[in-house]
Every structure is written in C-alpha cells, then in structure tokens.
Amino acid sequence: MTAAGTLAAVSGLARAQFRVEVTGVGVPQIPFAVAPFAVPAGLPQDVAAIVAADLVRSGQLRQLPGGTTVLDEMARPDLAPWRAQGVDALLTGSVRRLADGRFDVRFRLWDAVRGTDLGGLSYPVSAADLRLAAHRIADYVYEKLTGERGVFSTRIAYVSKNGERHQLWVADADGENAQPALTSREPIISPAWSPNGAQLAYVSFEALKPVIYVHDIATGRRRLLASFRGSNSAPAWSPDGRRLYATLTLAGSSQIYALDLDGGAPQRITQTGGIDTEPAFAPDGKAVYFVSDRGGSPQIYRMTPDGREVTRVTFEGSYNVSPAVSPDGRHLAFISRIGDAFRLRLMDLSSGTVTSLTDTVADESPSFAPNGRLIMYATRVQGRESLMTTTLDGRIKTRLAASGNVREPDWGPFPA
Amino acid sequence: MKFLSTTVRLFPIPRLGAALLAAVVLAGCSSVKLDEAAPVTDRTPTPVSPAGAAGAGAGSGAGSGAAGASMDGRTVVPVQTPQPGQAQPPANLERVIYFDFDSYTVKPEYMATLEAHARFLNADRQRRVVLEGHTDERGGREYNLALGQKRADAVRRALALLGVQESQMEAVSYGKEKPAVEGSGEAVWSRNRRVELQYR
C-alpha cells in the first residue's frame, strides 16, 4: 500500500481507531510533497503516509502529489519540476531491514524553492516503533518549515465509557496505539499527566466515592494518593512533579489542598467555606489558577501557590470553569456557560481579551498541546461524545471520534 | 540525534470489587463493615442438630448465644456474640432526596424522610450511611462534583441537627457521573439532581 502520488486522505490510516477530520483552513498553508520511500516488501507500517497524515492534520501544511518515482535519502532530485508544481518542500527517504531484525528509517528534506538540503536523520527502530519514527520525522519537517516544535510524537490520555465499562486510555497524539491503563465498572475522571510523562494521576470511583490514584504508565503499578473523608478530585501536578494540588472535602466544603507525593498530611491552600476547585499550575510554578464561587458564581481566579494572594481572572458571564494554562503562560483556555451552551474560550492573559473558539454547545476539559499551538477538548458532535483539537485562532479543528463515548482528554508532555 | 524508544507497556488492571476503601484515610472514616444480610438477632435457644450438621449452627444466625445440648454431650456449639442491629432501614423508607436546579437546600417535603433516617441511625451508633450527592449533566465534571458534594453536605447537616453523629455519616459526590436517568431535558435533569442515602 502506498500513499505516494495521491493527495493524502484526510482521515487516518485504515486501521485507526480514531478518524481524524480537518475542518476549516488556516492561511497560509505550506505546500509539501512526499516522494515514495524506498521500502522493503511487507513493511508493517507505511512510514511516508504516517508522516504525511501528521503534517496534513496540523492544518498548516497542504499535501501535493509525490509522484511515482522512489526517492531515498541519498537521491539528489532535480527540484525544478517540483517547484514548478508548487511544492515548497520535498521529503524523501527509505526504510531498510537491519541484520538484528530492526529497521533503519532515514529521510531527507529538500527546500524546493531555494534548492537546498534541509537535512535528514536516521532512526534504527524495532517494528513496534516504526510509527514513532514516522512521528519523529513529521516533528522534524514541521519544525523546519514552521519554526514551531511538533507534537506528533506526544501522547494523550482520555476516558471512554461504554455502558458500565469505563476505561482510561493512553494513545499517540494521532489516536493510534491506544492502550487501556485502567478498566473499571465505575467512572474515571480528570486524568493528569505528570510533567515527565511517566505517570498519570486520575480520579476513580471504584471505591464508590471519588479517590485519587497516581499510576505509573510503564509498569501499570499505581498508588492511592488521596482517599480522605468525603470526595477527592481534581489532581493537578506542580511543574517540578513533586506535589499534586487537589480538591478535598476534609473540612466539609470542597477546598484545594497540596499533597506531597512522598506522603504526609495534606496542606490546605484555599480558605473559604464555599467551593474552590480545579487547580491548574502556571508553567513557571509561580501561580495556580482555580475555580471559586467566592464571588457568588463560579469564576476563575489566580493565587500564589501558598494561597495567600488571590486575584480574579474572569469577569464575563456567570459561569467560567476548567482553566488550562498555555505552556508559555500567556493564554488561558476555559469553559464558559453562554446561555445554555458550554463553550471553549481563550483569554490573552496580558490583555484580558477573551475569544470563543468553537460553536459547539457541550465543550469540556480543555488541554494545551506542549507546543502551545493546539488545544484538545471534549465535546458532543451529533449526539456522540468526541475529542477535538483546535488551533488558538479557532480556524483549524480535528475530530477524534471513537466508537462509544470519549471524554476527559489530557495532552501529555514532549517525550524525554 | 539519538533516538529514544518510548515503548509503552500497559497492563490492564483487572476490575476491582466494590468497597475498596483505602489505606490513606485521614479523618474519622470509620470502617465498620456491616453485614448487610444479617438478620435480627434471635435469642431463642435452639436445639443443636447431630454432630454431622453442627456446622450449620455457626452461620445461620439462628443460634446466637445459645449453647444447646448436644445429642451425645461431646459436640461443642460455638457461641456467637450478639450480632449488630440490622444495618438496613425498612425497605419502604424513601432513600432519595431531590433538589431544585441550582439549589443545595433540602426541601421541607423531605424532612419527614430525613427524620425517619435519623431515628434509624440514632437507634444504633454502629449504623452508618453514605450520602451520595449528584447533579444533572450540565456543566463541567469537576465543578459538578463540588456541587454534588454541597447537596450531600446539606443532607449531612440536616441529619446532624436531628442527632446523628458525624462518625455515622460520610458525604461524597458523584457529580454528574452516575445519572439515575440518561438523557436531557428538565424531566430527566430533575430526576438526577439528588442525594442518595446508601447504607454500606
């Protein structure tokens, strides 16, 4: 199977559990082409197609036909015909079997306009990591052409619900390779990646009340971190990965506490008799955004991590929840109730300007990609719970729809 | 550029049984386990059946505290301490309290129900109830968890005012995660804004 010579289908590969759809167009789009890679027969993954699908899914690049002539990384193609077709960047490459059973994946990127070599790399990988090699190539191409770091090699966590079967999943950012970390007959909510991507904190109702676990992804081992009296929820990692802020009801009402991962008594941070919940650290660790009804309705506030200085952040409307801070600390994504609709919104923190990013009515749970260029969120489309991504200007969206209901996404960090 | 493998190995974690209350409990989460099937203690002594069937006496609950005479004088009947009082209130006692939209106060029409629950709990301090707060489907999951908690807490305070001890109650929330009725619209939402009294 080859994707060469065809405009890449917008949807993902045939076996994809998720179907990715790009709606909307970003201007301008960089035109690129992927020539057929030199590959052995029976290669289990179409590396070139995975790279192309990643780049197309960003919405910032547009794929043109790659022709039928195989071009590997050592080829020195005549770039004039490509340039004449409107191609700005040409990707060539190969996959070769190594003696030890692994594969050597190589590529080279050409700037067809300037006629220059934009470099290339080689990745020796097992068959199981061929997809990851493709994602790494897509990251390289994306960064060379846009100047931004790619997120194609990152992972996401999310929850599915099919009847009484709840599962916590870890998947590649394109939705492939989804593996269940937890299966339960009771709900699971609020997964939160640790800053180093090795663990997931989440809330599980398996004990017939909400409690917080910290789960090691690679080993499947997990630790009960918070099962205090009442409800335990909304885990949020500090940027140094040493503490989790969470919402506990020890004192009666829902309040934010700091929990040291090494154990010890929780330290109370907020001091109201009402609702304070959904903590979210700013990336520099100097502030924590959170939701409070201290003003009479749920709004987003910001406080120092010791809870002493509190500033209100949202002023429009009577219901603003689920804060998520961009990795550069400059934007805040959140959910506003507008009429009967719950809608994803974005605030520029320096100016306070707020924009709406969607026209759906049941948005939840925004989470920034680690390069800060995309937001993943949950919503309902045609009656089905789906995950979506959007660019910060709201123009380019993708939908990851599984069979069944998916919700509660959290975007993982850049791989180490 | 060094390539780093990020092979992920995940082990599906088997479903855990219910009631797995955990090790890290801070304040007063009493873990008295109540045998839900325990019948009311029967203090009438009953004769012990012949040796081959003596084991039946221990589990049936009928022979509490009674050391009946055995047929041949050598069978020992285990003495059972009196069982705790019945753990579940009468089956016809309503266990769900409904709430109006955006409201966290118990409506007067439910006070008689709460008084009956309070009588049941006050009669035996070993009895324990979990107050589960719920919301309708609208809005964020975590904020709804806090709203459900407010509802459960309102019922807890009402019961406390009726004499129930704090150690007999725990207020928890399911937020919008466990609707009683699936769907949308006020007819459905009003059935989901509730507190359930669960005797566990």
Q: What is the pLDDT of residues A54-83, one digit of tens each?
A: 998 888 899 999 999 999 999 999 999 999
Contact B10 A181 (CB under 8 A): yes
Q: Do A249 and B149 touch (CB under 8 A)?
A: yes
Q: Say whether B145 and A207 touch across the interface (CB within 8 A).
A: no
The closest alpha carbon to A34, from A11, A50, A10, A22, belongs to A50
Partner-chain residue, chosen from A208, A277, A415, that has the shortest CB–CB distance to B18: A208
Q: Which of B5, B143, B177 sits opposite A291 (nearest CB)?
A: B143
Q: Which of residues 280-319 of A touch B (CB under 8 A)?
A: 291, 298, 319
> Residue B153 is nearest to which of A190, A252, A277, comparing CB atoms?
A252
| Best residue of A249, A336, A385 to probe chain B, by most B CBs closer than 10 Å | A249
Q: In angstroms, rounded to a whole number, what is the distance separating the alpha carbons of residues A169 and A160? A: 8
CA B13 from centroid of its chain's CA atoms: 25
Residue A336 has pLDDT above 70, yes or no: yes
Give how far Cα A123 sits from Cα of A93, A120, A135, B86, Å: 11, 10, 11, 68
Residue B125 counted as domain residue: yes
CB–CB contact A227 B21 (8 Å): yes
A365 touches chain B (CB under 8 A): yes
The pLDDT assigned to B118 comes to 97
- For chain B, say whether A219 makes contact (Cβ under 8 Å): yes
Domains of chain A plus CATH, in order, are 19-146 (3.40.50.10070), 155-411 (2.120.10.30)
Q: In what order do the strands lie in the sheet with A155-162?
A: A179-184, A165-172, A155-162, A405-411
pLDDT grade for A263, boundaries at 50, 70 and 90: confident
Q: Say yes or no: B109 and B153 in one domain.
A: yes
pLDDT at A22 over 80: no
Same domain, B71 and B49: yes
Contacts of A48 (CB under 8 A, 6+ apart): A2, A3, A4, A34, A35, A36, A37, A66, A91, A93, A134
Tens of pLDDT, residue by residue over A286-325, are: 999 999 999 999 999 999 999 999 999 999 999 999 999 9
> Percentage of chain A surpassing pLDDT 90?
86
Pair (B102, B74) in one structural domain: no
Establish if B192 belongs to a structural domain. yes
Checking if the pLDDT of A91 tops 90, the result is yes
Query: Is B23 within 8 Å of A224 when comparing Cβ atoms?
Result: yes
- Identify which of B5, B29, B150 has the shortest CB distance to residue A229: B29
For residues B8-13, average pLDDT: 41
> Within this chain, do residues B127 and B181 fall inside the same structural domain, yes or no?
yes
Residue of B nearest to A182 (CA): B13
C-alpha span between B192 and B176 (Å, rounded): 8
Residues B68 and B150 in one domain: no
Q: How far is CA A38 from the centre of its chain?
A: 31
Do B53 and B142 lie in one domain? The reply is no
3-class state of residue A57 by DSSP? helix
- pLDDT value at residue B78: 56
Residues 174-193 of A with CB under 8 A from B: 177, 179-185, 187, 189-190
Q: What is the CATH number of the domain that holds B187?
A: 3.30.1330.60
Quote the minimal CA–CA distance from A158 to chain B in Å: 14
A230 near B CB under 8 A: yes
Instruction: Enumerate helices (H) and strands (E) in chain B, giving the number of each.
Output: 4, 4
Give yes or no: residues B182 and B105 share one domain: yes
Residues from chain B that touch A261, judged by Cβ atoms under 8 A, are none
Query: For residue A59, what pLDDT is reported?
Result: 83
Lowest mean pLDDT among A205-209, A215-219, B17-21, B109-113: B17-21
> What's residue A404's pLDDT?
80
Nearest to A170 among B8, B26, B146 (CB): B8
pLDDT of residue B200: 83
Any domain includes B119: yes
- Report yes or no on B32 lying in a domain: no
Q: How does residue B76 score in pLDDT terms, banded at 50, 70 and 90?
A: low
State whether B142 and A136 contact (CB < 8 Å): no
- pLDDT-derived band at A264, boundaries 50, 70, 90: confident
Among B9, B132, B149, the residue with its CB nearest the CB of A254 is B149
Over residues B169-182, the mean pLDDT reads 97
Could you tell me if residue B139 is inside a domain? Answer: yes
pLDDT band at B5 (very low <50, low <70, confident <90, very high): very low
Which residue, among A280, A406, A411, A297, has the nearest Cα to A347 in the 3D structure?
Answer: A280
Which chain A residue shows the shortest CA-CA distance from B152? A230
Could you tell me which chain A residue has the CA closest to the CA of B8?
Answer: A218
pLDDT at B56 over 70: no
Quote the minimal CA–CA distance from A190 to chain B in Å: 8
For residue B144, the enclosing domain spans 96-198
B76, B118: one domain: no
State mean pLDDT over A256-267.
94
Q: In this structure, is residue B127 part of a structural domain?
A: yes
pLDDT above 60 for A107: yes
Average pLDDT, chain B: 72
Q: Do B78 and B139 share a domain, yes or no? A: no
Amino acid at A35: A
What pLDDT is stored for residue B98 in this prediction?
A: 98
Q: What is the mean pLDDT of residues B159-184?
A: 97
pLDDT band, residue B87 (cuts 50/70/90): confident
Does the pLDDT at position A160 exceed 90? yes
- Same-domain pairing of B104 and B191: yes
Residues of A (317-346) whose Cβ lies below 8 Å from B = 319, 321-322, 335, 337, 342
Measured between beta carbons, the chain A residues lying within 8 angstroms of B160 are none
Residue B44 dihedral angles phi and psi, to the nearest 5°: -80, 125
Residue B60 has pLDDT above 60, yes or no: no
Of B19, B24, B142, the CB nearest to A234: B142
CA distance B35 to B60: 13
Is B159 among the domain residues? yes
Q: Where are the beta strands (DSSP E) in chain B?
A: 96-98, 129-134, 169-175, 194-198
> What residues does A161 pair with on adjacent strands?
A166, A405
B91 domain-assigned: no
Domains identified in chain B, total number: 2
Instruction: For residue A275, give the chain B residue with the closest CA.
Output: B146
